Amino acid sequence: MELDLRGKVALITGPAKGMGAAITLAFAAEGCNLVLAGRDTEAIVPVAAEAIAMGRNAIVLPCDLTDTAQCQALADRAVAECGQVDILVNVAGGSGPIGKTGWETTREEFNEIVTLNMTGAFNTMRAVLPGMIARRSGKIVNVGGTFGMRGRAGRMAYSASKWGLRGITKSMALEAGPYGINVNCVAPGMVDGARFRTKVVPELARRLGITEDEAITHHAEEYALRRITLDQDVAHACLFLASECARQITGVDLPVDGGWGML
């Protein structure tokens, strides 16, 4: 199956590490040129260098995704440098408080994660869509999460933000669909990586009175496939939804979770 992404321009937010870096390099491997955006540009530079070593163009631009003006400037600069934006992948986001009930969560904690996970994606979509509409072509992939599909005790604020992102995705899919633009959401389950190993696992181990190795096994046993999702699993789903192989798919939430969110 040919994804036919060679020469496309992909704007990716949150590309510095973990899942974001894996997604970025997967698009580079498929032949995409890249516009990489985030607050900490120094952290993004090594990922851009890897893409350039593959023979791709990759520019790094600073952007506070919660700032509407900065997102518009990002899109304008991407067009000026690369001609157009064919693909937008919104990876940037945060986890919010972990292990707190809804009534223990402060208003500040709630507002911070909802603003980052919802407003950031809204701002970038709003900035790139006029160009896509003018060309009657484009792919948008938002990275959500299965806790925004089933909810999760101790993760209320994060779940709320990802439920909201699903709503944004579905409404935008309906609005942009007549212009030939696909808007979808990839919903990872628990993804192995630094956040999982240093935050989620220790918190579960503490709460259940078990070892961290036992906590990892506990997580895996919740899934039909009995294994934790890897960054590359999420990257492959993003590639598919950004390709013409998914030309007739829009407005979906695609769980990448080993069989938790939908089973």
DSSP assigned state of 27 = H
Same domain as 123, residue 224:
no
SS3 state of residue 229: strand
- Asked if residue 163 is part of any domain, the answer here is yes
Same domain as 65, residue 158:
yes
Same domain as 204, residue 156:
no
Domain count, the chain: 2
Among the listed residues 110, 147, 158, 260, the single catalytic one is 158
Same domain as 212, residue 137:
no
- Asked if residue 56 is part of any domain, the answer here is yes
Rounded to the nearest 10°, the torsion over CA 109, 21, 149, 64 is: 40
Same domain as 62, residue 147:
yes
Same domain as 155, residue 111:
yes
Identify whether the C-beta of residue 169 lies closer than 8 Å to the C-beta of residue 144: yes
Q: Phi first, then psi: what are they for 191, rounded to 5°?
A: -110, 130
pLDDT at 79: 97
Same domain as 209, residue 133:
no
pLDDT at 148: 81
Same domain as 181, residue 136:
yes
- Asked if residue 148 is part of any domain, the answer here is yes
Same domain as 212, residue 154:
no
d(CA 165, CA 121): 8
158 catalytic per annotation: yes
- Asked if residue 3 is part of any domain, the answer here is no
79 exposure class (CB count in 10 Å sphere: 0-12, 13-18, 19+):
middle
Number of H helices, E strands in the chain: 11, 7
pLDDT at 214: 94
DSSP codes of every residue in 104-168: TS-HHHHHHHHIIIIIHHHHHHHHHHHHHHHHT-EEEEEE--THHHH--TTBHHHHHHHHHHHHH
Same domain as 182, residue 69:
yes
Same domain as 174, residue 73:
yes
Question: Could you list the pLDDT tens digit for every one of the 263 residues in the chain?
Answer: 689 899 999 999 999 999 999 999 999 999 999 999 999 999 999 999 999 999 999 999 999 999 999 999 999 999 999 999 999 999 998 877 777 877 887 889 888 989 999 999 999 999 999 999 999 999 999 999 888 888 788 788 888 999 999 999 999 999 999 999 999 999 998 899 888 898 889 988 998 999 999 999 998 998 999 999 999 999 999 999 999 999 999 999 999 999 988 87
- Asked if residue 19 is part of any domain, the answer here is yes
pLDDT at 24: 98
What's the pTM value of the predicted model, to 2 decimals?
0.93
Domain, as residue range, for 35:
9-190+230-256
pLDDT at 146: 86
CATH number for 99: 3.40.50.720
pLDDT at 1: 67
- Asked if residue 262 is part of any domain, the answer here is no
- Asked if residue 44 is part of any domain, the answer here is yes
Locate tokens 């190993």: which residue? Answer: 197
Same domain as 109, residue 197:
no
pLDDT at 176: 98
Q: Which residues contact 135 (CB under 8 A, 6 or more apart)?
A: 84
- Asked if residue 261 is part of any domain, the answer here is no
